[in-house]
Structure 1
């Protein structure tokens, strides 16, 4: 595109901004366009409302769309995208706070960046003119094919739809904006919008709202709209929470509701925005009596059963006189002050103070001041659905966030009613016999079985009357059974059921009807299962067994257990999901020497090193290695015929003896049994299997969702160790600036690993965001020698800054692990003073281990004792 044409397209961008006041780049600062691939970026922009700005490089500028709800990996979610003014290409690297009084005022984070092309390639200008862009995105969060389709003008702006194509990168069960909220440039997560009249914002850096606030709106609905939508919890597994970082509350089984009060007027509405004031008049009246001038509280409407537990089914029949209560669990606004930016702990303290002076039917949610393991036991004992784990330092955000976790002890599921089976009793023709139900999948509704119990006679009659009005000949489910007596209905109603488990073919086992849910829409009903932690690809579709991101230590009879202190001979553990059966045959743990077989087999031909040499090496290093590997899932590289022959990479090994401790870990769609190296004998058993190289997870059981360290993998380029040392020392200095200790080790081959130990409670998402931000800083400072580009042919001979291991299930080579390279080098822990151009990583070999340990001792051991917290933002 000619310069004059580019300037013309950017005129609108220029006239909207005062470049003496905004940090945004002026058009004159345009960068040259690279020849290889066009770029795309997505900005997370907290302006009037939080939204996402998609920008595609077309014709020398960034053609831009504002997407209010952000991108979705679900092809069924077609997101509105309003075309805005073109931006200069230099805007692709912009991140910062636009002054509040300027156009677009508020924080703008670089949420995503990468390259793109059209399908077919090179058609961006033509497809833009036609109004249908089909692009392939290659970013860190967004990948694969996407569509942008123009629909109609809207208020002078072109209105488009942006949605994911059905390809291998599509995911129906993963909200990328929730799971990956961080900037790809800085790692920052939280944003601040502009301060406007009547809108309260946090003081930067304090996490507290200003002491003086403007008066709240006169109408309570306006106040409710200001703090909308409600924050939602994500279904999770216990190893994603930690006592040091989370607080635990009872999970109630009822209707979610938010209440606002201003000047004796109130608004009371459900999560869907339905008014609840008339249906729950007594509760609304009690809330209006709160001793405040204005307030917004979030909570659950419940009905109690005979044992005083919340019971969703009782809530359906208000005429039966079931005792109703409103359980308040969060305080969003109080006396003119917006509290959403405060940490959970402070909001909770203010809530408890407010609720101390109120009476039933209002109550504060019950907080469990117990360790997580005991809290879950208490939930089972008292018949609750489960507990909610909330991060103590988390603000209140209107999204489904990993800061709130649902930990269930009783399985529950929302289902869409697809039809019913008439009752077989001839005298009860006006009743249903059972409901046929389903959930929404990627390609439509899927049948998940029949629900035949849990109904009263009144329920059966009311459901028959309700459903007969929506009868249809064609079933809504894409996999509806044939040759059935089912009366099909339109997918209009949602029911709540409890059940024991999901079957292997994706059906509910022993479902029990709990009631109808007027607060849920059929299109939002999907199979609820624990979301994968960041980067772990969840099982697609609805015909799979539910993923369980947990692990259990299955310690067989005779295995020593250092962590439990139990003597050998205790009952063996069992894999999750397996019914108890016959005990496996047991035998005593063999002596270490008895584990070695075929010790004379040569594994390293040039140096003549044998399996016996490898066995002796791991026996010597076991006291240093087993504390690192205990309770940590491993993958192994085996060379049974020596390194000159093909090797094998495996997570699960065959022929595991009964005495060997194992970990049963849920992977993508299946469970695998990992050897648990809790003692020397377990390590030597692996050595005898010619498992030369051990790759370890970054987390350990039972907290597999919480990494123990962040890892940076520096893979040398053409300049080898010289550039690596320069990059490594720059990284070390930056980590020191942040107050973080770090520990280097050789990879055992050409590279270097830098590990940053963490305190319990960190998530993989947070670790990845931190690592990504530091890698971006290194690339910006040392871009001539280092890059984050994954493609080897695009690196230009530069060192690769790899942070991809900071994901659940990814591994890093364990310290002291041998590598399948002649001379048998090992991954050697280092002191930072050793990371110089003079260091030769190949000098750390099987035969030099003893000399190395005698000289410096175990340099990795101190890392296991360091517990530190990553800085925020």
Structure 2
């Protein structure tokens, strides 16, 4: 279709809208986008809620309004009224159209994907004929669908939209109910336009209405600060959660501090500073209390955390136990409940936060407002790991302050922590320290009493061990407090009177703490309140094809929550409150036949390794090797993948003679989307955007010959010694198959030509010194069984297998970063497999992280 004709088709769209008022995109230059045509469905809350289907045909989005939305039941033929054509740029639109404008109300991007007609390439002809048969490749709508024109009605053409009878048909399944969320933002709820002259209030749950009277400036502060605290008591608590339950559109993120919860009230120049249990803190934290007295208000209640900072500026609960050590203490304020006669608890979080920031603008240390993270969730979690925080708090932007443990505040931890009750101790075995404990026996409360969760043997100072022995000996008892106490134990049992804070790596299958470390005693907690913290249960996400939401991005050191593969597991699986964009489909498909590893196993592996891999791959063009039918079937090597959803970040990169769209793994969801495409092996460029012409590494690829691993180690160590002599750090990793990669990190400013020249010079030296076992000869037939010294990847557009990437070899080995001390004849590269990732990381951590930090310049030749 000619451009002028396309623009003419958009004239109706243009005349209906004032683009100075609506956020909808104005028609621009008409260009045919590369790749398959797109389709989208908008969930549009205008005069009434309906769904707008749009198919890219002839350079525009041909649009239909479907009042009841799509149905997967072929017997349900839904009315679809054709509306004005929309510009191609509308395919990514989501937002609120002003109430007084045409189509006013929320419009969510409910679905997006690509489509093709049956047979292909017939969209214009079928549209003119009045019968479109299309194959949709979306996240919620898949398979064949029909659009059949029936008759005009009131100037608008009436069609029927219904599902074809194919394997994707699902009678009885209501996709609009089961999948209400936006594929772009995750939002579920919409707001339609307010009627003229009527101010529509946002509905509030009855429980919230009772708990929080609307703010009123006529309220009078109670006579004493204690009475004021009683009026707003108790403090709001956060619920332990997984990242899937929060979303950038609906939540704000703050640092989670590792300290002592406290609430402060000021009225009529009198103060009250109390813990969660109502204990007075003013004498214990005198300097902080004195600073709080100077707040520039007549009466106020603020909620926050008393913290102590370590040498790196991180909050550390253990330091609060030892005030004599002089650790810097602060009071971090994260909410304001009452201000100058006004009860603020009923206001949304965002408004309370604005009041708080204004209140704290003029204060000085040791007072400060909690740090808010203006980052996407995935990056906020990575920042928490990088800086060694306990985690982050996700707070719903529209939530009031409730005196309960609420899902409106979510604890997203990157370091596991748990309150435990001290049930006993093991005497120290050192005969010279009989007045000290050796380890604590700790537990948590269950339905039938306290349960033993293990021993805590580390994290103590000598004074800690002595003080705990003195405290616990006064409460000794012959009868164990644990209902499941082990017999024949050396434990000295005590009454469950004291609560401790511990950090640990994970819960074991039998409910024990793995590697717990003592942090200190908690005087603000009572033993009866100490239970095992768990993320709240969530709903099932199973669909007919076993579709599941992506599990939470989690540290590879935390407990794995693998997507179930058995039918019984799938039916009992739970869904978080917010669906993430990445989906697992056909999770029970076996990809590694001999070992029985499935697509769900691969999905779970990449979920666990995402915190380590995303920083490596972000903004770096990728190529992928896919095995959708398993590694015994033919695989595919691709730079550009089809069916990329609109929410997925991409990089448009110019290759020789063409421009390709690469998936940009900027977050865990992008990595999991690739995993669901059976992209087992990820190949990365050596450079990243926006400096694609400047490599970040020089790479040496050592491909063994008939001499095997023994020759490879000899060559690798010779290369390492030479690079050391040149003053360059280098980092080895297995290729995931037989070989070894050696990476030399570079500072910005190097060219590929310089990197390749440097690499060629080094392998020429190796060939001269070890020519009997190593060669630069590219032809396999001419190598004579020698190891191949390959540096061909040091060119723009060439790739190397990414660290931690799986390979299509039985057992699912991955490309494992190594320490040079491991590169010996005893090393077996095949021991680094999907199932051994956790053990590897527990032993050595992330050995690839230093590669991203080192910046060095190649020496002149």
TM-score tier by shorter-chain length is 0.3 to 0.5
Instruction: Pick the structure with greater CA Rg.
Output: 2
- State TM-score, norm by structure 1: 0.42
Higher-RCO chain (CA-CA 8 Å, sequence separation at least 6): 1
**Alignment TM-score, normalising by the size of structure 2:** 0.43
